[in-house]
Amino acid sequence: MRIVGGRLSAWAVAGLILSASFACARSDWIQSTLVTVDVSGEWQGNITRPAGAYGPGLIYLSLRQSGPKVRGTFSLSPGPNKDVPIEGTISGDVLRFQGRGGLVTAELQVNGDDMSRTGTSAAGPIRIEIHRQP
């Protein structure tokens, strides 16, 4: 820093303010990009849909993960939806994905070889509980 006439120059003051603002910046952006789990592989489990909307069924997910990005397919049984492309992201231990055309969206909590939580489908709200297949 350069002191001019007993005072800090305008550039030095600007630099101090900028440094302070970076020091006070929110750090949770790191948490939102942190990948702590790998969901690659084959998953299978139960999907519970509202009564009258095909009832309960099975869901199959085939996932490939590259950093925080996840791609793959899902299939529902019973139902006509087979190998529907999905795209999503991992943030911490939460997988968020959406099927082509918004057919299915979900936010699943990953716990080892299990994932569960809620989402939506064309028939309304759903509950998904799946397990990684060996």
What are the tens digits of pLDDT across the range 51-105?
666 668 899 999 999 999 999 999 988 777 789 999 999 999 999 999 987 778 9
Nearest partner of 128 among 95, 86, 100, judged by Cα: 95
Q: Which domains does the chain have, with CATH numbers?
A: 3-30 (no CATH), 41-132 (2.40.128.120)
Cα–Cα distance, 119 to 129 (Å, whole number): 11
In the beta sheet, which residues pair with residue 84? 74
pTM of the full structure: 0.71
What are the tens digits of pLDDT across the range 22-52?
555 554 555 445 667 999 999 999 988 766 6
Cα–Cα distance, 126 to 120 (Å, whole number): 5
The residue that leads in pLDDT, 17 or 59, is 59
pLDDT at 52: 61
Cα–Cα distance, 134 to 129 (Å, whole number): 16
Mean pLDDT (whole number) for 112-118: 95
